[in-house]
Amino acid sequence: MSTNGSAATDDEGVGTSRSTIMGPLNFTKDSTATDPPTSLVNERTVPCMFCSNIYDFHSADNGADQCLAHLYLVHRLVVADVKEIACLPSYCYYWREKFSSAPVEKYCSAMLLNQLPDGTSSPNEKYYLLSDIEPLDYELRQRLRREKLELVLARHQFERTDRNFQRGCLYCRDHRSATRPEYVSHLYSKHFLLLGKPEHLVFVDELIEIVQDKLNRLLCLFCEKLFKDRPTLKEHMRKKGHKRINPDNHYYDRFFLVNYRLKQKPEYVPIAKRKEESRVFASDSDSNSDWSDWNGDEQTTTCLFCAHTESSIVTLKQHMVAEHTFDFDQAVTGLSFYQRVKVVNFIRRQMHVRKCIACGEQCGELQSLVEHLDREGHYRLDGAGCAWDQPEYFFPTYEDDQFLCHLEEVDNERDETGQEEGSVVISESVNACINLDAESLSLENFKL
């Protein structure tokens, strides 16, 4: 195994060293050494966790998405709740270091699927999930949130008062503003270009660069359409009221302070508590379950929305219709076996983190989530299907979730085309998954 000699990657014990910065420092943006940095690490050349590929997380063609797609397609790795990671580049540097000296199974849940990443069917293909179920990952995510917030606040404070800001106005070249807030205010008061309230913005230099680049490339800031020349673009933006940045483009999210607020998140349930909960869900009524009835027919299945259990999946589905107005068979009509797996794991996950399965609203307690689901009639999947149809939901939320063993029956009841081995694979993987102490799985399918 390679020993990484890089000086900036010491990370023994993630939780203990708050100020550790992972990966090479970023010198690219800062004009003087005393300015607060604009990022925790160099985000322009972020390495893949496993190979020599490099990604620019600030590129217009979205390097972060490319990196995640590459991890899935080439290395079979899915990062859970990736949008919750405060600094994905740091996260990549950290895990790259870990994976350089230990097999991926040491930190990831593994499971087998009968398909290749592109969807082609192929038996027993192995995939990995990196999630906060792994204690190091949990602590890393916590630390990155704190460090990112500290950096953003320091940078924001600096940008509000720094008088060394030297930049000509985007429109009237001779105008100079003493500070960034003055500059942003000038754009609005003199040129009616609205970037945001100065006190809400951070990383203003990069924001202005992006705006300038868009205008130079003759793109409207708001609708992002391309125009043939500068006067036509100016006319369009003025006439249509498009002199502001596109609020639907998440590329701009990082320039708004509000997006860094630490939210009260029940997402991050301590590991011990989560295990406990998973045990409760797995064997609610029979406390002395042992391995002898593991393969028996008397396994109970837990409702997707409450702690109710039934030994018959048919009765359980009737319970869900009667109690929760949720018709499972109807909800998954037309979905493939793997899509049904994702639906079940998605609902389990959302209920666990107290988020609505239809609109994604975050609730504090289980009780308020149940009230929301009842009140809004949200015992249903969202129409677009993009929330649940993510690779991370291939992986079970709970250990030995019996619901996953009954997904084939939907097929069998309606037509006879279901593949029998599908349910076998999924129950195997349930055993293999999450239990990090399980025998270490072979690396044969994992190509570096």
Which residues sit at the interface with Zn ion, rule CB under 5 A?
Answer: 48, 50-51, 53, 169, 171-172, 175, 190, 220, 222-223, 242, 303, 305-306, 308, 323, 356, 358-359, 361, 376, 378
Q: In whole angstroms, how close is the CB of 244 to Zn ion at the nearest point?
A: 10
Q: In whole angstroms, how close is the CB of 132 to Zn ion at the nearest point?
A: 22
The residue assigned the tokens 């925790």 is 40
Cβ neighbours around 136 below 10 Å, total: 17
Distance of CA 64 to the CA centre of its chain: 11
Q: In whole angstroms, how close is the CB of 291 to Zn ion at the nearest point?
A: 28
Q: In whole angstroms, how close is the CB of 301 to Zn ion at the nearest point?
A: 11
Q: In whole angstroms, how close is the CB of 18 to Zn ion at the nearest point?
A: 30
Which among 332, 355, 334 has a CA at the least distance from the CA of 344?
332
Cβ neighbours around 304 below 10 Å, total: 23
Q: In whole angstroms, how close is the CB of 313 to Zn ion at the nearest point?
A: 13
- Structure tokens that stand for 271 in this block: 């590991």
Given the complex with Zn ion, which of 111 and 373 has the nearer CB atom?
Answer: 373
- Inter-CA distances, 346 with 129, 288, 305, 375, Å: 14, 29, 12, 21
Given the complex with Zn ion, which of 190 and 414 has the nearer CB atom?
Answer: 190
Given the complex with Zn ion, which of 75 and 342 has the nearer CB atom?
Answer: 75
Given the complex with Zn ion, which of 279 and 308 has the nearer CB atom?
Answer: 308
- Structure tokens that stand for 238 in this block: 């003025």
Given the complex with Zn ion, which of 123 and 385 has the nearer CB atom?
Answer: 385
CA dihedral 266, 272, 276, 277 (to 10 degrees): 20
Given the complex with Zn ion, which of 376 and 413 has the nearer CB atom?
Answer: 376
Given the complex with Zn ion, which of 44 and 308 has the nearer CB atom?
Answer: 308
Q: In whole angstroms, how close is the CB of 373 to Zn ion at the nearest point?
A: 7
Which among 322, 319, 347 has a CA at the least distance from the CA of 332?
347
Could you give the angle at the alpha carbon of 309 between the alpha carbons of 305 and 313, nearest 5°? 90
Q: In whole angstroms, how close is the CB of 37 to Zn ion at the nearest point?
A: 27
Given the complex with Zn ion, which of 219 and 424 has the nearer CB atom?
Answer: 219
Burial category of 448 from C-beta neighbours within 10 Å (exposed 0-12, middle 13-18, buried 19 and up): exposed
Q: In whole angstroms, how close is the CB of 368 to Zn ion at the nearest point?
A: 11
Q: In whole angstroms, how close is the CB of 444 to Zn ion at the nearest point?
A: 18
Q: In whole angstroms, how close is the CB of 439 to Zn ion at the nearest point?
A: 26
Q: Which residue type does 153 have? A: L
Given the complex with Zn ion, which of 169 and 405 has the nearer CB atom?
Answer: 169
Given the complex with Zn ion, which of 50 and 127 has the nearer CB atom?
Answer: 50
Q: In whole angstroms, how close is the CB of 378 to Zn ion at the nearest point?
A: 4
Give phi and psi for 411, each to the nearest 5.
-60, -50
Given the complex with Zn ion, which of 220 and 341 has the nearer CB atom?
Answer: 220
Given the complex with Zn ion, which of 321 and 405 has the nearer CB atom?
Answer: 321
- Structure tokens that stand for 182 in this block: 């003055």
Cβ neighbours around 447 below 10 Å, total: 10
